[in-house]
Amino acid sequence: DAGVTQSPTHLIKTRGQQVTLRCSPKSGHDTVSWYQQALGQGPQFIFQYYEEEERQRGNFPDRFSGHQFPNYSSELNVNALLLGDSALYLCASSLPGQNNSPLHFGNGTRLTVT
Amino acid sequence: KNEVEQSPQNLTAQEGEFITINCSYSVGISALHWLQQHPGGGIVSLFMLSSGKKKHGRLIATINIQEKHSSLHITASHPRDSAVYICAVRSDKLIFGTGTRLQVFP
């Protein structure tokens, strides 16, 4: 049973470019959340997807957008990249409609913006 | 002031020592999570608590809802316990502490 998988593992982009990160949830999970973790900091909530819709959003600009597909996998898109977007991007999935279920994280995508 | 505060930020210990990491929060919560993050970045869920105490192997987690405080204890620490330990609380969203970096030396 595969856990949460993220791709790519590492990515280098230039300021102003756009990036797409991908996440496949753990089998049986339908809710996907995305987090940004800057170096030395705790993760910050970006948004959560459930039933192919954005259900909740953290304090991130509109340059951060996402999508969830019918198979529950999800994408995080960041436009007009800034140096400050360099971070580890984590995806977590959870059981259907259960916010208070154990958390399952992927290994993250490390994005470097130069 | 952060809504979730952890202490200490950094912790070093000798193998075998008893370790305590603390987490205080200022918001109403429905659950608290303790997470372990290794240098590669992947995060593993250790505990989810809404009251009382949980134990798994050498790890013990407690929570006091009235005092808005939780502790993670590691008994008989081992070098493989070296990692960043993160406290996260569920309010309207998941809010994370900045983590406690633990290094256990043989």
Cβ burial of A5 (10 Å; 0-12, 13-18, 19+) is middle
Within 8 A of A99 by CB-CB distance, chain B residues are 30, 90
B23-36 mean pLDDT? 95
User: What distance in Å separates the CA atoms of residue B4 and residue B16, rounded to the nearest whole number?
Assistant: 29
Q: Is the pLDDT of residue A99 over 70?
A: no
User: What distance in Å separates the CA atoms of residue B8 and residue B53, rounded to the nearest whole number?
Assistant: 21
Q: Is the pLDDT of residue A90 over 90?
A: yes
pLDDT at position A1, please? 60
Q: Is the pLDDT of residue A44 over 90?
A: yes
Pick the residue with more confidence: B72 or A30?
B72
CB contact under 8 A, A56 and B31: no
Within 8 A of A101 by CB-CB distance, chain B residues are 48
Q: How many angstroms separate the CA of residue B50 from the nearest CA in chain A?
A: 9
